[in-house]
Amino acid sequence: MDRWRALLEASTVALDLPGDSGGGTGFVLAPGTVVTCAHVVAGADTVRGRMVATGAELTLPVSGESLHRTSNGLDIAFLRFDAPAMPRPRAAA
């Protein structure tokens, strides 16, 4: 369980929306890609992200192509960022 917790903490991104719109949570799915719920970032042009484990700052552009929502419940967004800006997560042994 400690290994999974370490991986989750290393990949968690705190999201800050523009103005006083609030925030949310995302996760690094793959190098250069953060996944979150589409309703969290819908309406924003850019979202600021902060890697919870390291404090590294990310700029996450939001576009219509980023958002995937359907009437049957799909509500997901894939936000791209410059992968070299983020260190790779390391799991505890």
Helix locations, 38-91, DSSP H: 38-41
pLDDT in tens, 26-51: 999 998 999 999 999 999 999 999 99
Mean model confidence pLDDT for the chain? 88
- Rounded Cα gap, residues 63 and 44, in angstroms: 8
- pTM of this prediction exceeds 0.85: no
Whole-number pLDDT of residue 86: 53
The kind and range of the H/E element at 11 are helix 2-11
Looking at 17-21, 80-84, 86-90, which range is the least confident one?
Answer: 86-90
| AA identity, residue 45 | D
pLDDT tens, residue by residue, 62-84 = 999 999 999 999 999 999 998 76
